[in-house]
Structures are given as C-alpha cells and as structure tokens.
Structure 1
Amino acid sequence: MAKSLNEKVKNYIPNDLVFSILSKLPLKSLKRFRCVHKTWSVLFENPIFMNKFRTNLITIPHSYYDDTSILLNQYVYDPDNGICRSLYLLSGERFENRVKLDFPNPFKIEEPQFDVLQSGSITGILCLYSSYPSNEIVLWNPTINEFKVIPHSSVDSVPPYRHIHKEIFGFGYDPISEDYKIITYVYFSRVNDQSILPPNVNWEDFAHSREISYEPVWEIYSLRCNFWKKIDIPLPICCYCKGEGLYMDGICHWPATCEDDGQHYLVSFYLNNEVCFITPIPIDINFDENYIVQKKLLMLNGSLACILWYKYTTTYHILFLGELGVKESWTKLFVIELSDYIGYPIGVAKKCDIFFLKGDGELVYFDLCTEMIEKLGCIKRKHYSTKIIIYKKNLVSIEK
C-alpha cells in the first residue's frame, strides 16, 4: 500500500508547478510538449496559462539585449535644409537622452546620402547603403569610427550595357565562420539612351542583341574573403519587402508577398550553409477586400514575431513563430486594441517597447507590458524612412 501511494505521489505534479515550468519554455518547445500529456494539449486554450506564458515571454530578460543601446535612424524633410538623414543614440528610462552620430564619409562628398539597413547590429557593425554615388555599400563600426567600402561585384561591370538595380535583403554575422555577410538581389533594365554607349558599339547591334541577359541574380558577400558570389535561392516569385529584414542567430529573415495570389511569406536564409526556408504567414485577421494587410517583422525579447494590421485601423495582431518552415507554428499571442490610430511600427527596443511612426510624423512607443503609449517628443515632420535598431558597442576592428 505504501508503495502504491509513493507511485501516485511520484506521478502527480500540481498544475501550478506545471504551469510555472511550461510557461517559461520557448514557443517551439511548448508546442512539442503538448503531446506528452492530455491536459498539456489544451494549454493554449487555458486563459490562466496563456497569461503566464505571455508575461514570461516579454518580461524575462534575454541575453540578446545585454549591454545594448537603441539607435534611431531618420530620413525626414526639413523646410530649411530639405531632405536630411540623421542617426541618434537613445538612452534614458523614456529614451529622452539623444546623442547625434555623424555618418562616415568614405567618398569625400558633401552630405553623403546613406541609409542604415534595419536588420540589426548586435555585433556592433552597421550596414550602410546608398544608391548614390553608385549602389554603394559601407560597413561601419560607430564605436571606433571605422568603416570599409564594400567592393562592387562582377555583375556591376559593363559590358554588357544595362541599367543595374540592387536591393539589400540581409546583413548579419555568421558565428560559425566568424564572418560578416551581405545578401543582395540584383536586377537589370534595358538601356534606352545610345549616348551612354562607347563610340565603337553600334546602337542597332546592341538593341537587337540576344547575348545580353536581364535575368536577376542573388549574390552574397563575405567580408573575410572580400568577395561576392552568386547564389541560387529557391524562392517563389514574390514582391519583396526591401529594407524590412531582421537578423537573429546567424539567420537573415525578411517578409515577402506573392504577386500571384497575395500569399504572405517569411524568407529565412542561413548565412553559414546558405540554406533557405520559406514559411507562409497566416493572415488570420478579419478579411476585408477594401484594405491591404500590412505586416512588419519584429524581434520581441529575443523571439521572432510578425505584426499584422490594416492601414489606418486601430487593431494590431502579433504572431510569434515557433518553427521555421511550419505555417502552423505561428501563434497569435497579442491583439492590441487602441482607441486611436498610432501609425506604422518601425522597430522594437529592449524587451517589449514597440515604436510607431504616426501619420503626422510624431514618434511614439507602446509598452506591451503596461499597454501604455508614450511620446518621444520629436518634432513633427514628413518622414521618408524611420527605423529603430538594436546596437551593441564593439571595440574590434571590422577587418579582424
């Protein structure tokens, strides 16, 4: 009888203890453990457990944010000076302290027109890009004010004579090879002005040439090798959301939308072995054919998430991804209901502060824990681009 009682005690775990342990697990692990016990299979339907899980997900400190700062990158119109780019280091309890950083000027031109890739800089290196003077890419370490101009790839050279367009979709650090890498999509258009051709090239022969390829190519750059190479990525024919990517743990992610059926995807590219995963994003918000679904990738306290909403509406749905390549692993954990429209999400600070850009150019942030909205006190201006970037200081040279 004593042995039977011991077995019962051994096999019994109080629900409070189960909830406490399971609520601290990553989403991927939690979904896998649902098959262990019958009561665990319905955890996502238990409001008490889900409240615990949400709270832990956004409040338990993640090592990703150790010793990090927040960068605010703005591209705005100033009535006195025209279009201006600026980069600020934000600090303080309410991000009230700002220090302006000066962009590097590797091309010795007045007011270099750089933008900052939003994919992040947890390793202390920023990726700057500019269509002027000529699709230039620069890596920059603001801590030691060191920069490196990235060389052009072979597809940038002529002949054949064609207009070259380049978009950056990913930048990050490969911890296995200890190398920084950049992913670009290069596409071409026809030259319609014969004046740009050398005197020895006949316009009629050029215009009817079948040897000139206009097929787009994907390329990846290795800082360690200082070399570009072409890559083949099995991607659907999509309208890509340039400049909207994220970098996490050796993987570059960016959103995409299929032109044929409007399906939304998450594209995930492993920098080390160059393997790509396509994960459909379920648009499980009330469908309205009068509105286009907006989406934005976020990293909330170290977890990959996607926020969905209709433009000019006040409801935002936040889905978290459990496993790459598995559509069913997306789980909606938050629905933000607001009385007023707070605009377009532009990034996330430490843990759970989601920054928004309002229609009038004002910057605000929404605390996911307290559900409070705070203003940043910025001057209202017309914004062409505004981003929030997580940054960690790095005293190591880019070349090492």
Structure 2
Amino acid sequence: MVISVCEKVRNHIPNDLSFFILSKLPLKSLKRFGCVNKTWSVFFENPNFMIEFCNNFISIPHSYYNDASLLLYQVKWNHNHTYMSFPLYLLSGERFENKVKLDFPNPFQHDNPGYYILVSGSINGILCLYDDEDMIILWNPTIKEFKVIPPSPVDSLPPYRAIMKEIHGFGYDPVRDDYKIIRKVGFINVTDDDDDHHVIPSDAQWEDMCENYEPFWEVYSLICNSWRKVDLVLPTCCSEGSHYNNDLLYLDGMCHWLSISHGQYGEQYLVSFEFTNEVCFTTLMPTLVFLDTDPDNVLHPAVVLLNGSIASILGYTTTFHISILGKLGVSESWTKIFVIGPLSDDIMYPIGAGKNGDIFFARKEGREPICFDLCTQMIEELDGVKGAYYSKIIIYKESLVSIGQINH
C-alpha cells in the first residue's frame, strides 16, 4: 500500500508538536513547508502561533550578529549652520552608554574629512565611504587600512557635460572573493551660465538628459581595481540624489534598495542586485490599506535587516508596521509580524536595526535618537548620545581582512 508523504507527516507529527517546531523556523522555510499540510498553511491566521513565531524571531540569535557591534553615524551642524561635522561612534553596553569616537581616513589631509557611509552594515569588516566630490573609499577601521577607489573612464568626458554618479550598492562576490560597487552614471548639458553643475536630476530625467550621452550602469571590482560598464537597465533608488539614505542593504552576496515606479505615490519595489552573476530581482513592497486614513500621512517606507531578514517598516503618523520578506521576487511572501505604536509624535523615521529586535528611530532635529525594543515593547534612550541633523545605525563586525592584499 502506497502512503503519500502528506499522510505520513500527518500521522507522525501531532499539531501541537508541529506548532512548536514551525514557530522556530525562518519565514522562508515556513512558507515552503506550508505547502505540505493544510493545517500548517493556516498557522499564520492563528494569533497564538504568530505570538510564538514573533517571540522566536527576535529572541533566537542569528549568526549574522555574532561578534557584531553597533556604529552610530551622524551629520551635525554647528549652532549657526556654517560648519558640518560627521562623527562616527562605536557603541557598546546594555544602554549603549559606552561610546568611542572613530576617525575617518584622511588621504588628502583635509581640515574636516567627512564621508557618507553606504549600506547599513560592514562587509567582512569593510565599510564603503563616499563624499560630495565623488571620492569613494573602502575602509577597514579594525586594522586602520583604507583604499581610495580610482576614477572611472567616464571622468575623461568633455567638461561641458555634468556627470551624475549615484552609488546604489557595495557588496561581496563570494565566488570570485571580490568586493564590488555598483552605480548609475548620467549626464546633463551645462553652460557657463549654470551656477550649479551638480544638480541631481529627477528619476524621470535620467532617461532624457542628453541626446548623445545615454545614462548607464558601471561596476567597480577591487580585484581588478577598475570600473567597467555593464549592460543593465535597473530601477534607480527612490532616494537618489540624497546622501541621507537608510535604505541600502547588503545580505548574502546581494545589495538591495528601494525604488518607486511612478512618482511619489507610485508602486514601490525592493530592487536586489546579485554581485556574482550581476543580475537583478524586483519585489513589490507591502502597502497599507488606507480605509478612512489620509495617504498623505503615510511615511516613506524603510527597509532594514532585522535579525538576519529583510524587513519593511511602513509608518502611518506614529504607528509603524513591520513585515519580513520570505522570498525575493514574491510580493505575497511579505508577512506582517509587528505593529509598533502609536509612539510619541516627535519620532520621525527608522534609522536602522540592531541586535535582538532593536529598532532605532530618529527624532525631531536636536533630540537624541531612541531605541525601540521589540522584545519588551519599551523605548530606551541612548545614554550619552546627542541629537543630530541626521543619524544612521550600522552593524559592524571587526575583521583583519586586508584591502591591499585583495587588490593585489
């Protein structure tokens, strides 16, 4: 007598045991196993299961955070807004009370070296920095080693073209043991009458900037120490033109960013670029059902790495909905697991996620950022951390990886 796999599973695993086991699985595995048994497939409709799943999701440590620390990156103005500083702190302690300032690399001995930091975490201990002059630096703070990335061939174009270079991702190619950067390059005509040659075009203007100079994408390889043009057409980052972008992620050989299809209220996508095969995936982002609410009060969505998973944070006024992604390219695999709030009306937007279910939020200018603990549902102040114009939380893991050895 032939017994189906489903009948075997049903006969040998009681529902209470399957409830216990499945609640500890990652979402990707749970979605897959839901096809085995109808009872399992409806666990997400069971409030008790969801409570258990959420508790396990934030309490079971993920290997991504082994030996990891937190970096707090800030952009600050002085009292009369004439001077900008870029402090970077290593945080530790139960309430992040231990704060050590790190000094950015200063290859050209500037009086005030300041950089923006790409993506929300270091990659094998390496951070990718860039500044307003299109300088890019790879930096390992642990061994105090850095490398200035050489210019692209596009920089030799005639001076009457203004060049816009927008970095979209930094990551690791595990097959080639290489570190790569991907960015989009566009052009506009300039004349002597133009006061600002660095105006960032809108997303629609990227495709219509110049008759003879089409925008394109290029990838930098650390092993080759050079840029090369790639034959790709990718959706651009919805925060393009802004250095203050918390929505660039890296995880398992892929970088991710948010893109909007048509204007402010268009469909929003997670764009995922794989560094090994240099291919792209898009995933429609979750949305809020507005009912009687005003869509103008919906905050710009954010994506963070939450306990090793890609998470969407979508806010309406002071309430934030958190969903995690089960499978790239499958919008139906977004699963809402937390609703935070309503919080204080001075909380503005998420600036990153830490370990064990910590979500960090920016507050109105001049007020220090806060941490919301998903385990305790409590807000914690960051002792000794002052407010800033802009703040960002970065996951950092110390490493002895030498950038120079990779390059050679």
Query: TM-score under structure 2 normalisation?
Result: 0.86
Match of 1:263 in 2: 267
Q: Which residue of 1 aligns with 2:93?
A: 92
Q: Does 1:154 align with 2:127?
A: no
Partner residue in 2 for 1:335: 339
The secondary structure found in structure 2 opposite 1:272 is: coil
Question: CA contact under 8 A between 1:119 and 1:170: conserved in structure 2?
Answer: no
1:393 alignment partner, one of 382, 386, 398: 398
Q: Which residue of 2 aligns with 1:4?
A: none
Name the structure 2 match of 1:249.
252
Once the two structures are TM-superposed, the CA of residue 12 in structure 1 deviates from its matched residue by 4.0
1:282 and 2:286 correspond? yes
Unmatched runs of 5 consecutive residues or more in structure 1: 1-6, 197-209
Task: Give per-residue Cα distances to partners, 1:125-146, cap 9 Å, x unaligned.
Answer: 1111011xx3100011111111
Aligned to 2:176: 177
Q: Is the 8 A contact 2:74 2:388 kept in 1?
A: no
Residue 357 of structure 1 and its aligned partner are, at CA, apart by 0.8
**SS of structure 1 residue aligned to 2:320:** strand
Cα deviation code 1:347-380 (max 9, x no counterpart) = 1111211111101332100001110001114565
Contact 2:127 2:138 in 1 (8 A): yes
Contact 1:182 1:222 in 2 (8 A): yes
Say yes or no: does 1:298 pair with 2:340. Answer: no
Structure 2 unaligned residues grouped into runs of 5+: 1-6, 196-208
Pairing partner for 1:321 from 322, 325, 329: 325
Aligned residue in 2 for 1:346: 351
- 2:206 maps to none
Q: Which residue of 1 aligns with 2:186?
A: 187
Alignment of 1:207-246 (within 5 A): 213-236=212-235, 239-240=238-239, 243=245, 244-246=247-249
Q: What amino acid is aligned across from residue 392 of structure 1 in structure 2?
A: K
Aligned length: 376
Identity of matched residues, %: 58
How many angstroms apart in 1 are the aligned matches of 2:97 and 2:237?
A: 40
Contact kept? 2:87, 2:101, Cα under 8 Å = yes
Give 2:364's aligned residue: 359
Query: Partners of 2:72 and 2:78 in 1: how far apart?
Result: 17
1:301–1:350 CA contact under 8 A, matched in 2: yes
Alpha-carbon distance in structure 2 between the residues aligned to 1:33 and 1:305: 21
Flag the 1:113–1:46 CA change in 2: closer, same or farther, 3 A.
same
Report the RMSD for the aligned CA atoms in angstroms: 2.4
Contact 1:76 1:84 in 2 (8 A): yes
User: Structure 1 residue 386: deviation in Å?
Assistant: 1.3
8 Å contact kept, 1:305–1:319:
yes
Q: Secondary structure at the match of 1:52?
A: helix
In the TM superposition, what whole-angstrom CA distance separates every residue of 1:150-175 from its partner, at most 9, and x where no partner exists? 00111121226311121111011112
2:300 aligned with 1:272? no
Q: Determine helix, strand or coil for the equivalent of 2:169.
A: strand
Q: Distance in 2 between matches of 1:44 and 1:9?
A: 19
Give 2:42's aligned residue: 42
Aligned equivalent of 1:143: 142
Which of 378, 382, 390 is 1:376 aligned to?
A: 382
Structure 1 runs, 4 residues or longer, greater than 6 Å off? 7-10
CA distance in 1, matches of 2:120, 2:130: 12
Q: How does 1:126-137 map to 2 (within 5 A)?
A: 126-131=127-132, 134-137=133-136
Paired AA for residue 147 in structure 1: F
Partner of 2:107: 106
State the TM-score, normalizing by the size of structure 1.
Answer: 0.88
Cα gap change, 1:97 to 1:367, in 2 (>3 Å): same
For 2:4, the equivalent position in structure 1 comes to: none
| Separation of aligned partners in 1, 2:10 and 2:154 | 67
CA distance in 1, matches of 2:194, 2:94: 58
Residue 167 of structure 2 aligns to a residue whose secondary structure is strand
Report the alpha carbon displacement of residue 79 of structure 1 after superposing the two structures with TM.
Answer: 1.6
In terms of mean alpha carbon deviation, does 372-381 or 301-310 score higher? 372-381
- 8 Å CA contact retained: 2:368, 2:388: no
Alpha-carbon separation, structure 2, partners of 1:368 and 1:195: 50
Q: 2:308 and 2:357 mapped to 1: Cα distance?
A: 10
Secondary structure of 2:142's match? coil
Measure, in 2, the Cα distance between the counterparts of 1:358 and 1:323: 32
Does residue 71 in structure 1 map to residue 74 in structure 2? no
Greater Cα shift, 343-352 or 287-296: 287-296
Which residue identity does 1:90 align to in structure 2?
A: L
Compute the displacement of 1:306 (Å).
0.8
Q: CA deviation at 1:233?
A: 2.8
Deviation of the 1:344 alpha carbon? 1.2
* Contact 1:240-1:257 within 8 A present in 2 as well: no
Equivalent position SS for 1:284: coil
* Per-residue deviation, 1:42: 0.8
